[in-house]
Copies of this chain bind each other. A is one copy, B any other.
Amino acid sequence: MGASDDRMSAEDRLIADYFKPIATHPGALALTDDAAFVTPAPGTDVVLKTDAIIGGVHFFAEDDARDVARKALRVNLSDLAAKGATPLGFLVSLALPKDTSADWLKRFALGLREDAEAYACPLFGGDTDRTPGPVMVSISMFGSVPSGAMVRRAGARPGHRVFVTGTIGDAALGLVLRQGATWPLTAAQREHLLARYLLPQPRNALAEVVRAYASAAMDVSDGLAGDLTKLCRVSGVAAHIDVAAVPLSDAARAAIAADAAMRETALTGGDDFEVLCTVPPARADAFRAAARAAGVPVTDIGVVEAGAGAHFMDGGRELAFHRLSFSHF
């Protein structure tokens, strides 16, 4: 056989079989080209984000590949939500160990497809390579906002209220549970915490509301305490948080009741993928109403003040944390 035959490489076949159905945007050219293109709507900015997850670091090797794919997408979708952006699509760079099975790939593609559809965020292109290391899934995601409207970390001003969506700490406690913690929880409580670690539930339903009302926003991925500290630093302000107001699930409360040290884990542990934002006080009620209409629970947990740092107040006393946030370094 010469070069005239039309053999496809294993990589081409893999892409054709599993990933093409996710590349529904015409600019993706059905993944038959070197690159893709997108035509942004006039008057919009393209929001850009990349975040990777690695086997043994951000997920367990034995996790269902469907969940791995969805986690990889959702950690990026969460950033778009916090920036007030609507997803446009994503690129995926996938490094796979040699022994990766066809079934793993099939499950991975299934997860990617499900969430690409659920979040209207199609695949525009990708790159697959063999690696002697663990699975690594690097997603680059792009979204759109009206020009100049991307919500930033900078923008919090003294007097603004601090809000978070959902509940805080569940995923971090789910990880501790998975690592062998033996708190006396109900089956439903265990399941809740484990599920919150396994699969983020990003708040893309709130993106427009964040854009309309928030003075500053970010998603909580490295722990509430550390992430709020970052927001304060860039905004040049302090935040005073009422620890009692921080929303916790029943399951998280039960874990903290069993082991008081878990309160710090909940506040600093990361993987929440909730939205943290500040809202001018005059707009707080309207923000709350808009969030309710969007179906996303939000809680006022404190106030922005002049100064520096995030201060977590437990009654009259400020909490001292052993570490501010989760870091892979």
Which chain A residues have a beta carbon within 8 Å of chain B's beta carbons?
1-7, 9-12, 14, 27, 29, 32-40, 42, 45-52, 54, 56-58, 79-80, 82-83, 85, 89, 91-93, 95, 124-134, 136, 138, 140, 142, 145, 147, 150, 152-154, 218-219, 222, 225-226, 228-230, 233-234, 238, 267-268, 308-312, 318-321, 324-325, 327-329
Contact = CB atoms under 8 A, between A and B. Distances in A.
B50 A150 contact: no
Contact of A93 (B36, B45, B93, B124): B93
A-B complex: 4 closest residue pairs judged by Cβ atoms: A133-B133, A4-B309, A140-B140, A10-B329
16 contacts: A2-B311, A2-B312, A3-B225, A3-B311, A3-B320, A3-B321, A4-B318, A9-B226, A12-B230, A50-B92, A52-B127, A52-B138, A93-B138, A95-B133, A127-B138, A131-B133
Contacts of A10: 327, 329
B309 A5 contact: yes
Nearest to A4: B309
B91 A48 contact: yes
Contacts of A45: 27, 37-39
A325 B325 CA distance: 46
A133 B230 CA distance: 29
B57 A328 contact: no
Contacts of A57: 129-132
A47 B32 contact: no
Nearest to A143: B35
A320 B36 CA distance: 33
Nearest to A56: B132
Given A47-B35, A47-B36, A2 B80 contact: no
A36 to B, nearest CB: 5
Given A57-B130, A130-B57, A324-B7, A219 B34 contact: yes
A174 B18 CA distance: 34
Contacts of A218: 33-34
Given A42-B42, A48-B124, A93-B51, A3 B79 contact: no
Quick one: which of A4, A54, A89, A233 has the most chain B CB within 10 A?
A: A4
Contacts of A49: 34-36, 91, 125
A73 B319 CA distance: 45
